Amino acid sequence: MGRKPEVESSALGCILSGTWTLVSLPFWLGATGLLVVSTTTASKLFAIALICLLPIPLNFLHWHRTSRKIVTVLLLLTGSIAFFLCARQATDYADDPEAAARVIYENGTRHFSCSPANLVPEIDQYILGSYLLALIDPNLGWSQAAELRENVGNIYADLEKDAELATLPCVLGSSYREMIGLKPRTGILFVYVPKKSGWDPLEKKTALVFLHGGLGNFQGYWALWKRFADTTGVALVAPTFGSGNWSGDGGLESIEQAREFCVNHPRIDGGKLVLAGIANGGTGVIHGGLAAPEKWRGLLFLSPVIEKSVVESNAFANGWGGRKALIITGERDKHTTADYVRKAVSSMEEIEMKLETHYLPDRDHFLIYSDWPQLQKLIGEWIKSL
């Protein structure tokens, strides 16, 4: 009687091995990349945990071999210890309604401290993402990506020193959910209401509702807007909505939730609200402004995507004709080019919007990171004029 084939050489074994390899390989490569480029201990521990744990199912196909048993036990032990140490460093967040800086979870959303988005510090998520984008985005060169990492690194270094921001959780999990095909959820808000600073600390505060771009609601944005808020006294409310598809289902709901928070806040003037957006967030500004023009004092666009067809609609003209907007973009922006923005501006001028436009020379799509002091000055002066 012939010898039975070993499980690893059987048809089923080959199918299982091949399937797991295909499924796990992108994660294993990502973990290897994270280990190479990461700047924090927590990220390195997370990468080591994945590198060790992902091959374990393959070793069960060879379980009859003593050497494989030893390797599996070592991988499991090393990976488990690395994951445990990583999880101990993760942010365990509980909202304090009295805090100036908060992340609020509503509509059934909640903070999960052991999610990958929370286990890996956001700065390292950004660094790894910049390398991946440089590989796949023809409009982002390697030198530009390196400059972006330097600028962002400085912002996150300052963020770590800010006691009000350093303990807040990462909310990029919402963006990753949409990237893998799940429907984005509404209900997560970053809020910063400065307590004493500003033009007139005794008045109720103007608030800026900020809509993030296509990659998510980064803490780096929060750090920059907090500087602005501490200087001007303007409050910031930044809703999180997946990958920033604000014109999709739930986008307007998320914007309205942020607006209602402002209206109900005892220290915010609900009649002094500005709707702002960066990159894809510009789409949300257009649609949010169109849906409820009477609820916003003005519109603010940074390196924006602007749907010209919506701007040219009668409904938008009726709501925003003769009203104020500020647009800031870079002349070297290859994602939303200056010519593209100028065409949208031309349509706004046709309905006699009161526009203030700035096309910054030699600046690209990421000018919010490279030129924040100048942006802060321009935005502050414009908001003060409303």
User: Do residue 83 and residue 144 come from a single domain?
Assistant: no
Residue 164 C-alpha from the chain's centroid: 19
Q: Which of 286, 237, 242, 226 has the alpha carbon at shortest distance from 103?
A: 237
Q: Mean pLDDT, to the nearest integer, of 267-292?
A: 98
pTM listed for this prediction: 0.92
| Rounded distance between C-alpha atoms, residue 266 and residue 323, angstroms | 27
Residue 298's H or E segment, with its range, is strand 298-302
Domain at 313, CATH number: 3.40.50.1820
User: Do residue 362 and residue 214 come from a single domain?
Assistant: yes
User: Do residue 244 and residue 314 come from a single domain?
Assistant: yes
Number of helices followed by number of strands (H, E) in the chain: 16, 8
**Range in 7-16, 122-131, 289-298 with the lowest mean pLDDT:** 7-16
Residue ending a domain, choose from 51, 67, 88: 88
| Rounded distance between C-alpha atoms, residue 259 and residue 366, angstroms | 26
**Range in 118-127, 196-205, 276-285, 312-321 with the lowest mean pLDDT:** 196-205
The answer to whether residue 185 is domain-embedded is yes
Query: Across all residues in the chain, what is the average pLDDT?
Result: 93
pLDDT in tens, 294-335: 999 999 999 999 999 999 999 999 999 999 999 999 999 999
pLDDT at 2: 46
User: Do residue 78 and residue 190 come from a single domain?
Assistant: no
The answer to whether residue 319 is domain-embedded is yes
The answer to whether residue 2 is domain-embedded is no
User: Do residue 109 and residue 70 come from a single domain?
Assistant: no
pLDDT at 1: 43
The answer to whether residue 172 is domain-embedded is yes
Task: Give the CA radius of gyration of the chain.
Answer: 24
For the record, the structure tokens of 145 come out as 């990506």
| Rounded distance between C-alpha atoms, residue 248 and residue 301, angstroms | 19
User: Do residue 111 and residue 190 come from a single domain?
Assistant: yes
Q: How many domains does the chain have?
A: 2
| Rounded distance between C-alpha atoms, residue 256 and residue 143, angstroms | 39
- pLDDT > 70 fraction of the chain, expressed in percent and rounded: 94
User: Do residue 143 and residue 284 come from a single domain?
Assistant: yes
User: Do residue 107 and residue 69 come from a single domain?
Assistant: no
**Residues paired with residue 240 on neighbouring β-strands, in sequence order:** 188
The answer to whether residue 94 is domain-embedded is no
Opening angle at CA 75, ends 71 and 80, nearest 5: 155
Q: Mean pLDDT, to the nearest integer, of 64-86?
A: 90
Residue 25's alpha-carbon distances to 31, 77, 127, 199, in angstroms, are: 10, 21, 20, 54
Q: Is the pLDDT of residue 67 over 90?
A: no
User: Do residue 192 and residue 339 come from a single domain?
Assistant: yes
Q: Mean pLDDT, to the nearest integer, of 195-214?
A: 84
| Rounded distance between C-alpha atoms, residue 127 and residue 150, angstroms | 9
| Rounded distance between C-alpha atoms, residue 324 and residue 356, angstroms | 8
The answer to whether residue 335 is domain-embedded is yes
| Rounded distance between C-alpha atoms, residue 285 and residue 308, angstroms | 13
pLDDT at 199: 60
Q: Which of 50, 61, 48, 52 has the alpha carbon at shortest distance from 18?
A: 61
User: Do residue 172 and residue 150 come from a single domain?
Assistant: yes
Residues of the domain holding 30: 7-88
Residue ranges of alpha helices (H) inside 10-102 are 11-37, 41-53, 56-59, 66-88
Q: Which of 75, 78, 79, 176 has the alpha carbon at shortest distance from 128?
A: 176
| Cβ count within 10 A of residue 67 | 9
The answer to whether residue 115 is domain-embedded is yes
pLDDT at 4: 47
The answer to whether residue 1 is domain-embedded is no
User: Do residue 125 and residue 15 come from a single domain?
Assistant: no
Tell me the angle at which helices 122-136 and 219-232 cross, rounded to the nearest 10 degrees. 120
Residue ending a domain, choose from 55, 88, 121: 88
| Rounded distance between C-alpha atoms, residue 98 and residue 116, angstroms | 28
Residue ending a domain, choose from 88, 113, 140: 88
Q: Is the pLDDT of residue 163 over 90?
A: yes
Interstrand relation of 205-211 and 354-360 (parallel, antiparallel or unpaired): unpaired
User: Do residue 71 and residue 146 come from a single domain?
Assistant: no
Residue pair 257/280 in contact (Cβ under 8 Å)? The answer is no
Q: Is the pLDDT of residue 5 over 50?
A: no
pLDDT in tens, 89-111: 887 899 999 999 999 999 989 99
